[in-house]
Amino acid sequence: MSEKFIVEGWKLFKGELFSSKQTTLQRLIDEKPYPSALAALQQSKKDHGYTDEWYREHLWELNRQWLSKVQSAVIENNRCIAELNQKIVKVNDTRFRYNYTEKELADLQFMQTLIKTRILNEGKKDLTQSLCILDEYIDTQEGARAIMFLSADNEVGKYAKVRYEVASKNAKTAAERAFDADKAAKLDSLQSQLLPYMQAAVIGNKMLERAEQQVSRDMSERAGTIYFQDTSVSVDNAVRAKNEVGGRWGYIPYAVDQQITRECAKQAESTAVPQQSPHEDSVNSTLSQRETSEIAVEDISAVTTTDSTENSEKRHESRQSKSNFANVSIL
């Protein structure tokens, strides 16, 4: 498209908003460049007196550029969402690691044995008594760690699991608590960054859907104006039409393909010449000979009748003349 046909409304598509390779979807949503460009295009047609064909061609190009820009913005927005989700998963998967010393492992093993023995002997497999024994040790860091490990024991694990959540909190060191606080802050920050992209994705997907529908309608209209003005459209022309539309736009929408097929079928039916069968030809030939003979007989009869009438009139005149001559002689 030549520069002289770039109207004022198109400056939005060539300005700062569209100068970069990637445009954020949020900017397209906030600044709404398409309505402004469309209004400017309509005003330019009115001011300069451009034809409807000129306006239609520029509108098609405007819609195509808008679709391309929305597509790239949606792709970029989805990429940012994917990156943030990966970061969230990575932060969630991080765990605090603590290396126990030999003394700490020995003390932990002793505490587990002590608590288990008391539950089996004093608790007598009673839930209330067993929980009372666990509560005696759960407030200390070593006791809380021992209860956490006992939750996997086959004999007393069902009692330790009841107090597992409280034990996991009491078993943490100061460093582990700081780690958890920092992890929660990172997750909150990532979630806050993700929220605007998710909101923009909802609006952007709807914008993309409408832009694709508009371009599909434009392609259907273009195909109709280019390929269906001549009444002698054939199937070969339909194939060429589909190939040219596909090469120009990169793909053929289903609606365009169906419209081309329907239009070609209609044109083929309207231009088709019905052919007669050999039987019909022979019947028509026989009827033609018979009709010819009848017409000939009718013509001969008409001529004969005319001649007979004229001769009769002449004989009547002759007799009348003789009668008049006889009358004159007698007088």
Residue 244 in any domain: the answer is no
DSSP string, 105-167: HHHHHHHHHHHHHHIIIIITT-HHHHHHHHHHHTTSHHHHHHHHHHTT-TTTHHHHGGGHHHH
- Residue 226 is predicted with a pLDDT of 64
In one letter, which amino acid is 330?
I
- Residue 268 is predicted with a pLDDT of 64
- Taking only the tens place, the pLDDT of each residue in 114-125 is 999 998 888 777
Residue 214 in any domain: the answer is no
Query: How many CB atoms sit inside 10 A of residue 204's CB?
Result: 23
Name which of 51, 65, 56, 5 is nearest 222 in CA terms: 56
- Residue 84 is predicted with a pLDDT of 95
* C-beta pairs of 45-49 under 8 Å, 24+ apart in sequence: none
Output the six-digit token pair for 178.
């700081």
H/E stretch holding 62 reads helix 52-93
Residue 26 in any domain: the answer is no
Residue 18 in any domain: the answer is no
Cα distance between residue 135 and residue 141, in whole Å = 12
Output the six-digit token pair for 218.
């434009």
- Taking only the tens place, the pLDDT of each residue in 16-58 is 444 444 568 988 999 888 998 899 889 988 898 889 888 988 9
Token match 């001011």: residue?
47
pTM of the model: 0.56
Distances in whole angstroms, Cα of residue 204 to Cα of each of 145, 209, 281, 286: 50, 9, 67, 75
- Residue 12 is predicted with a pLDDT of 44
Total of domains in the chain: 1
- Residue 270 is predicted with a pLDDT of 66
- Residue 186 is predicted with a pLDDT of 95
Residue 187 in any domain: the answer is no
Domain that holds residue 111: 102-172
Name which of 218, 212, 241, 219 is nearest 229 in CA terms: 241
Residue 224 in any domain: the answer is no
Residue 248 in any domain: the answer is no
- Residue 200 is predicted with a pLDDT of 94
Output the six-digit token pair for 193.
């960054």
Residue 162 in any domain: the answer is yes
| Low-confidence residues in the chain, pLDDT < 50 | 1-12, 15-21, 230-235, 273, 277-290, 292-293, 295-310, 312, 314, 316-331
